[in-house]
Amino acid sequence: MTTRPQPALAARDIHKAYGKHQVLRGADLTVEPGQLVAVVGENGSGKSTLLKAIAGTLSVDSGEVRLGGELGYCPQDPVLNLNLTVDQHLQYFAAAHKLDSLDRAGELVSLLGYEKYRGTAAGELSGGTRQKLNLTLALLHDPDVLLLDEPYQGFDWETYLRFWDLVDQLHERDKAVVVITHLVFEQERFDVLADLVEGRLTPRATAVKEHSNAGV
């Protein structure tokens, strides 16, 4: 037995094909607690498919996923109920997670700056605000492992920066965070960049974080 702590997330040999099109061909991803990982790759390379497979919203052809704690998944397209208000979403997910308070929800709403829409139905929110709510729902229960699929689409610059403050806080609190990103200029924020090429992930440590333990 090793004394090495259990990784927060271990995905092994994930295969997924859509018909004849093999998207994932044995993708592996290991993320330690407190590690911030970017999944990068071209359009259609299977980044969202990988996150869906890990989150369990999509069935895979083969492979295995192990989680070392609670999972929060923020899908690329907001999954909301357009008839319900922001507050009602928060209540619904507080019931799902059996939370004893909405304090964290309030913090997230105020950090992302959309308090004034708490009584507004999701169907009447702008795209950016919907995305904020989408992200809030993934973070509501303070999960240990976070999968964020382009979480800041439609955010203005101010909110984008606040998003990174939030991720920094999670990082400091030893949460494992996986983000799908296209933005080259932000890649130095991560501990590890994982390139998804031809259905497999190739990790590389980022320039400024060479010292970090690339566990992919």
Q: Which residues bind other proteins (CB under 8 A)?
A: 14, 53-60, 62-66, 73, 75, 79-84, 88, 91-102, 137, 141
Smaller CB separation from other proteins, 92 or 115:
92
The token pair that represents 173 in the structure block = 């609190």
Indicate the DSSP class of residue 167.
Answer: H
Smaller CB separation from other proteins, 124 or 168:
124
Least Å distance, CB 91 to other proteins, is 5
Least Å distance, CB 85 to other proteins, is 10
Smaller CB separation from other proteins, 134 or 190:
134
Least Å distance, CB 79 to other proteins, is 5
Q: How far is residue 104's CA from residue 110's CA, in Å, rounded to a whole number?
A: 10
Question: Which amino acid appears at position 78 of this protein?
Answer: P
- In this structure, the dihedral spanned by the alpha carbons of residues 39, 157, 153 and 132, taken in order and rounded to 10 degrees, is 110
Smaller CB separation from other proteins, 73 or 190:
73
Residue 13: in which H helix or E strand, if any? Answer: strand 9-18
Q: How far is residue 122's CA from residue 77's CA, in Å, rounded to a whole number?
A: 13
Residue 178: in which H helix or E strand, if any? Answer: strand 176-180
Least Å distance, CB 11 to other proteins, is 9
